[in-house]
Amino acid sequence: MRRCQDLAVERMTEVQVKRKIWYDKNAVRRKFQVGDQVLVLATSKPNKMAVQWTGPGVIESQLSDTNYIVKMANKNDKTQIYHVNLLKPYHQTPEKINLLISERKEIPEAESDELGIPYPTVDPNVYDFEEIIRDSAL
């Protein structure tokens, strides 16, 4: 009986080492610094297929290699401990800025002006917003 137990323990440690090597090949090592913004996986969903990331939250401190204290911005200064597998880095999308430059562009005089025919602009996407505002004033 003792020999069977020793054999089982030996086999268990061999399999454990083998599975650790296999897991470590595909595992992604995640490490966060204090102050990093992260998204947190919401675990209270009706089923496990309904995955939703909440956040962003801010890393307050690191308790161990795998546990972090995260302060969520939308939860009134509430901090909670999360495992590293429930966190992913938050990358803020750049803001799109629409820029409008209003400047006068001289239109060359043409013979059509003498006849009272308006001269068409070269670029149909250029608008004189000051003229539109003046014309729309009641």
List pLDDT tens digits, range 18-37.
999 998 888 878 899 999 99
CA distance 53 to 40: 5
| Chain segment 36-84, per-residue pLDDT in tens | 999 999 877 777 777 888 888 999 999 998 999 999 887 677 889 999 9
What residue segments make up the domains of the chain, in order of their start?
Answer: 1-89
Q: In angstroms, rounded to a whole number, what is the distance separating the alpha carbons of residues 68 and 112? A: 74
What fold characterizes domain 1-89? SH3 type barrels. (2.30.30)
Distance (Å) of CA 32 to CA 2, 81, 121, 123, 136:
47, 14, 56, 51, 55
Q: Tokens 């308790």 map to which residue? A: 63
